[in-house]
Amino acid sequence: MQISKLLQDEPVASKNLECYRERGYTNEDLLPKPQEKRTMSALNFCTLWMQSVHNIPNYAAVGAFLLMGYSPIYVMIGIMLGAILTAIIMVANGVVGSKYGIPFSMHLRATYGKAGAQLPGFLRGVVAAICWYGIQTYIGAKALEILVGKICPEFLTFGNEIPFVGSHIPIIISFAIFWLLNLAIGLGGGKTLNKLTVVLSPLIYVVFGCMSVWAISCAGGLSAIMQYHATVQAPTNYGLGLFMMMVVNSVLGVWAAPAVSIADFTQNAKSTMAQLKGQIASFLLSYALFAFTSVVILVGGSLFYHETITDVLVIINKWDNLPAIAIATGLLLLTTVCTNATGNIVPAAYQLTALAPRFVNYKRGVVIAALVSTVLMPWKFMANITGFLNLIGMLLGPIAGVLLADYYVVKRTHIDLDQIYYDTNSSSKSAYSGTNWISYTSTILGLLFALSGQIIPLLSPLTQISWIVGCTVGFVCQILLSKVFQPTMAKERK
């Protein structure tokens, strides 16, 4: 495969867009983006993800791995390996969007067919995105409750006299405020996110850099941090190799949903080269800093306060400097909002649009996703954050593997938009109107392998690396089954 061919964009012509509209595609969110509407540069992609790394759930995941008792250096190495693999997946799967300007829903159609795209689209846009949306909103609400409580201690006891719900009034108020903030950012869409992330990204590294200096000083030096081993109450029987793969899988799990639906962002890229440079720089730079600062802050705080701390908010809450608490917590709140928007709100809205294009557009999708995320009671998922990441990886890893194999190996990096945007007014059948059972079968096989550890005790380690297992099996099965059965869609090449 020639690199020049891979990076060569194929922008849609205005006459083609008009033709697709006449065929029944009246929802603009489903049409390919023409070149003049693609505004995201390499810098936009770089800042888009850089601020998303430093969020509360990511720190919680690092804290959970430190609790397993391994050296902090292994956690750092695992995080960086995960970041490198994530960058490769994001760029590779994003080529479809940047090359053709199509959204994720049409990327799915190219691989699964219109009918077949419903289930993977539902898993990504409804199950994964909306569940994560709720979790991020609840975590942000908890941080907001702490911040307001520090500024106004009476807030934490507000409504205690009200029967049944009194003690929960502060978190209910915090959740409502943070929910509205997430909704507003989501409704603003990509333009609002671009403006916010450009300002937010440099501030993040200034604040967390200062926190790292504080942690190193409090711990008595960097060597003390690197020699730290958490006191493990229930030692695990995981070897170092499996532990490292678990850390890698966790990073992949955090980005499992955006990695699948990345076309919703790369369709706005000025070029494939722009998204390639921006995303690689973003992940490598941001995770190099995150791997260092997250470990240093959590371990340094644990050494200074003489207790095992796995939550960065706990450390911040122990400070006696109110301005420092307000700045650090406020920044975490903003990064959580941006992460929620880029990884959950935007994809959920687009996928809901694809599932019901006649009734839902992007903004209606944002509102629906916000409401459903609350009904799902996200606080129920917080008991086991690493388990939830494994679940998301289990569901979405196979889809990522199938999408990559189908585009790069089966279709040889060529998609016929004229066939994907077939005439919905015609009675004639299209290869894309039904279900590609090769892709469906490959996805199910990947899911079964990732799930096997839950059923067969001997295979339980596979559950801890569910994304890696599911993606690998889905990728291999898509290639093998396509070669054996040679479906019509697999023959679509230049």
Nearest Cα to 441, choosing from 407, 472, 398?
398
Q: With DSSP H G I counted as helix, E B as strand and the rest as coil, what are the percentages for the chain, rounded to 5? A: 75, 0, 25
CA dist 94 and 448 (Å) reads 26
CA dist 412 and 430 (Å) reads 21
C-alpha torsion angle, residues 356, 358, 361, 366 (rounded to 10): -40
Contact yes or no for 67/392 (Cβ under 8 A): no
Query: What is the predicted pLDDT for the residue at 263?
Result: 92
CA dist 34 and 47 (Å) reads 23
The dihedral region occupied by 220, where left means phi > 0, alpha psi between -120 and 50, and beta the remainder, is: left
Burial of residue 455 (number of CB atoms within 10 Å: 0-12, 13-18, 19+): exposed
Burial of residue 23 (number of CB atoms within 10 Å: 0-12, 13-18, 19+): middle
Contact yes or no for 56/338 (Cβ under 8 A): no
Burial of residue 458 (number of CB atoms within 10 Å: 0-12, 13-18, 19+): exposed
Give how far the C-alpha of residue 454 lies from the chain's centroid of Cα atoms, to the nearest Å: 24
Mean pLDDT by 10 residues, the chain (494 residues): 62 79 82 88 84 78 85 93 95 94 91 87 80 82 86 82 68 88 78 66 82 93 90 64 88 87 91 93 92 94 90 87 88 80 78 78 85 75 65 87 95 88 72 85 92 78 85 96 69 44
Query: What is the predicted pLDDT for the residue at 107?
Result: 93
CA dist 407 and 489 (Å) reads 11
Contact yes or no for 264/30 (Cβ under 8 A): no
pTM for the model: 0.83
Query: What is the predicted pLDDT for the residue at 493?
Result: 40
pLDDT digits 0-9 by tens, 171-189: 888 988 988 888 888 887 6
CA dist 325 and 149 (Å) reads 11
CA dist 168 and 159 (Å) reads 8
Half-sphere exposure of 199 (CA within 13 A, CB side): 7
Residues 392-416, buried b or exposed e (16+ Cβ, 10 A)? Answer: bbbbbbbbbbbbbbbbbbbbebebb
**Cα 480–Cα 485–Cα 490 angle in degrees, nearest 5:** 80
Nearest Cα to 326, choosing from 217, 209, 168, 207?
207
Contact yes or no for 12/412 (Cβ under 8 A): no
Half-sphere exposure of 144 (CA within 13 A, CB side): 23
Give how far the C-alpha of residue 253 lies from the chain's centroid of Cα atoms, to the nearest Å: 8
pLDDT digits 0-9 by tens, 407-457: 999 998 888 888 888 877 766 666 677 889 999 999 999 999 888 877 777
Query: What is the predicted pLDDT for the residue at 163?
Result: 63
Token pair belonging to 485:
């059965």
Beta strands per DSSP E along 386-440: none
Query: What is the predicted pLDDT for the residue at 379?
Result: 67
Give how far the C-alpha of residue 132 lies from the chain's centroid of Cα atoms, to the nearest Å: 9
Q: Distances from the Cα of 382 to the Cαs of 144, 258, 284, 318, in angstroms?
A: 17, 20, 28, 22
CA dist 222 and 325 (Å) reads 23
Query: What is the predicted pLDDT for the residue at 490?
Result: 43
**Cα 420–Cα 440–Cα 481 angle in degrees, nearest 5:** 95
Query: What is the predicted pLDDT for the residue at 494?
Result: 43
